[in-house]
């Protein structure tokens, strides 16, 4: 997912007043007692939990929060790049970018479908996004100022997404894990197209080279923030990581994934011929990893809580698109109903 899994629980603690509606009845006491052993057995054996399986409410609500946050990030993530479809520098670039943005819409669809298997409706999840009760990745609250930003997003943002999402292919919840397999294949293409955009710019005019460098300067730190706040060492008990790892939802800590991303990306930056904006970035022979500087977590919190450069615009655009698309949803429902009625009539005849 696009990081940032640390919002409030959807179950809203013990009060349950903010609890998401579910389609089936809650378990009775005897089932609940039996459920624990059954569920723990599946998790211990590293088996997948499927929608038919009984699961603890906290596991269900954690997954709903994670998958919804991921789905929201996919569809909000269409906006910064959609901004450049009409201004892509060639027909080839335009076709590639349109395919990429369309892929992100598809990722949102797979993920909303995966969340629906947990007994929550897509309408409810979108309502939670539109009313600010669920988050999307803070990375999409930064503007895309130049064409090079499309390259930097593909290379860094999709690159960080892959780092987060590949382990989710082995996540304990079956529908989420299966959705991730196709998503990851498409993300790899996105990452390569971004790398290639920057590679070409870095071999262009001095102005194009400067544009590529400027984009990398602006997107590097927000990309590192995508993995979420520190959650290892002293911070191991903070956030949701420990519980999510015990449940087999997460396989690595935010910090481990961030380190892997830095280790993967530094040699790529050298290949492109751009510098990453961190004076503390250097190879540590002893650790066998790159050391890097401190992420500005105050900025991260500020942007996530609504005060980033583009938060208001992203949400206004999303809500407007949803409202303007109401007639399409209504038409689809009417068509499905008419077909179902016709099928029933044919069956009765």
Which residues make up the interface to Fe ion (CB under 5 A)? 74, 104, 107, 158, 187, 190
Supply the minimum distance, in Å, between the C-beta of residue 234 and Fe ion.
32
- Whole-angstrom distance, CA of residue 156 vs CA of residue 163: 10
**Least distance between Fe ion and beta carbon 252 (Å):** 19
Q: Residue length, the chain? A: 349
What gap in Å lies between CA 11 and CA 20, rounded to an integer?
7
| Dihedral (CA of 161, 164, 169, 171) sign | negative
Closest to Fe ion by CB, 191 or 259? 191
Q: Which is nearer to Fe ion, 179 or 262 (CB)?
A: 179
- Minimum CB distance to Fe ion smaller for 158 or for 231: 158
- Name the minimum Å distance from CB 107 to Fe ion: 4
Cβ 187 to Fe ion shortest distance, Å? 5
Closest to 203 measured CA to CA, from 151, 153, 160, 154: 151
Nearer to Fe ion, 122 or 238 (CB): 122
Are the beta carbons of 193 and 152 closer than 8 angstroms?
Answer: no
Query: Which helix (H) or strand (E) segment is 179 a member of?
Result: helix 174-202
In the complex with Fe ion, the residue whose CB is nearer, 60 or 72, is 72
Closest listed residue to residue 150, CA positions, set 226, 72, 98: 98
Cβ 165 to Fe ion shortest distance, Å? 8
The least CB distance from residue 215 to Fe ion, in Å, is 17
Choice between 136 and 292, CB closer to Fe ion: 136
Q: CB within 8 A of 315, min separation 6: which ones?
A: 130, 132
**Nearest one of 82, 71, 165, 73 to 118, comparing CA atoms:** 71
* Closest CB 183 distance from Fe ion, rounded Å: 6
N-to-C CA span, the chain: 49
C-alpha span between 59 and 179 (Å, rounded): 18
- Residue closer to Fe ion by CB (options 194, 308) is 194
């Amino acid at each position: 997912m696009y990081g940032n899994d640390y919002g409030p629980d959807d179950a809203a603690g013990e009060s349950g007043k903010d609890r998401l509606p579910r389609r089936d009845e809650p378990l009775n006491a005897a089932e609940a007692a039996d459920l624990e052993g059954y569920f723990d057995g599946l998790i211990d054996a590293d088996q997948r939990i499927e929608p038919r399986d009984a699961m603890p409410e906290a596991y269900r609500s954690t997954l709903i929060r994670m998958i919804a946050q991921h789905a929201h990030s996919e569809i909000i993530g269409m906006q910064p790049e959609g901004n450049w479809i009409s201004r892509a520098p060639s027909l080839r670039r335009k076709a590639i970018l349109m395919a990429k943005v369309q892929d992100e819409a598809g990722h949102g669809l797979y993920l909303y479908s995966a969340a629906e298997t947990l007994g929550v409706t897509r309408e409810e999840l979108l309502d939670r996004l539109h009313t600010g009760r669920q988050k999307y990745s803070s990375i999409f609250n930064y503007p895309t100022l130049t064409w090079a930003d499309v390259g930097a997003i593909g290379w860094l943002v999709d690159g960080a997404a892959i780092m987060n999402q590949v382990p989710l292919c082995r996540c304990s919840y079956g529908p989420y894990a299966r959705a991730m397999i196709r998503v990851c294949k498409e993300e790899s293409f996105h990452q390569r197209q971004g790398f290639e955009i920057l590679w070409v710019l870095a071999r262009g005019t001095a102005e194009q080279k400067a544009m590529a460098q400027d984009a990398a300067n602006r997107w590097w730190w927000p990309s590192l923030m995508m993995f979420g706040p520190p959650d290892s060492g002293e911070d191991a008990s903070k956030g949701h990581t420990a519980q999510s790892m015990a449940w087999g939802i997460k396989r690595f800590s935010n910090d481990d994934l961030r380190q892997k991303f830095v280790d993967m990306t530094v040699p790529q930056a050298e290949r492109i011929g751009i510098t990453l904006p961190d004076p503390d970035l250097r190879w540590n022979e002893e650790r066998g990893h790159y050391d890097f500087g401190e992420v500005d977590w105050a900025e991260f919190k500020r942007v996530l809580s609504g005060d980033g450069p583009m938060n208001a615009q992203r949400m206004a655009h999303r809500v407007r698109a949803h409202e303007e698309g109401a007639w399409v949803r209504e038409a689809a429902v009417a068509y499905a109903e008419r077909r179902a009625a016709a099928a029933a009539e044919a069956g009765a005849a």
